[in-house]
Amino acid sequence: MNSKPPVNSQPHINNLESIGHRNNAALDASFCSALFPALDPDQKENRRFLKEETIFSIGSLTVVFTGLQFDQSDFDVYLALLAIAQPLPPVTAVKFHAASLLQKLGMPTGESDLEQFDSVLIRLCGGVIEITDHKKRYFGSLIEGGKMDEVTMIYQVSMNKQFRMLFGEENLSQSSNVVCESLFAKLKGCQ
């Protein structure tokens, strides 16, 4: 007996791309403001540690966060890393000079600013995001890790490929894309 397996015997593997392709500006804005809220200086000094806290939920989409609370400055740095990573293959580490990146973002580059930048990278690496959509659950940190040469101030950062695709240039809402395109243009050659 020659029995062939059914043509569609392989399970369909879903990934975060389906979430990113919702193309709903209100959803993107709500999601990003929940994950990266605006904090006043006192709140930044005393960031909350969130443990498996639901920060966003609409329809079948739920976002749970564990880690030191993110803020808008974390989002700015993450978008800058996405801009640098944009022309690179998804598994390639992002390499950049810290002061150069901060300058292109219009931020100061003093010693305390570089220390604060380092804290942002650690926070992005330490926060775990869980996204549940239609009974599929994705989890991980935005940055998987990295290294920094303390003499040259050159960082090499590995980004989470799934979240990179979710937040990537082509998956952000059109209103966000205007900001991203401007940022991508500014950061060319930052490596």
Query: Length of the chain in residues, anyone?
Result: 191
Alpha-helix runs per DSSP H in 36-173: 41-45, 72-85, 98-104, 111-126, 161-167
Report which secondary-structure segment, H or E, holds 180: helix 174-187
- Rounded mean pLDDT of 33-60? 92
Residue scoring higher pLDDT (166 or 179): 166
- Asked whether residue 46 carries a pLDDT value surpassing 90, the answer given is yes
- Asked whether residue 23 carries a pLDDT value surpassing 70, the answer given is no
- Backbone torsions φ then ψ of 87, nearest 5 degrees: -80, -5
Structure pTM? 0.77
The secondary structure of residue 13, as a DSSP letter, is P
In the chain, the percentage of residues whose pLDDT exceeds 90 is: 46
Query: Which pLDDT band holds residue 159 (cuts at 50, 70, 90)?
Result: very high
Helix (H, G, I), strand (E, B) or coil at 29: helix
* Exposure on the CB side of residue 47, measured as CA atoms within 13 A: 19
pLDDT in the model for residue 70: 96
pLDDT in the model for residue 168: 65
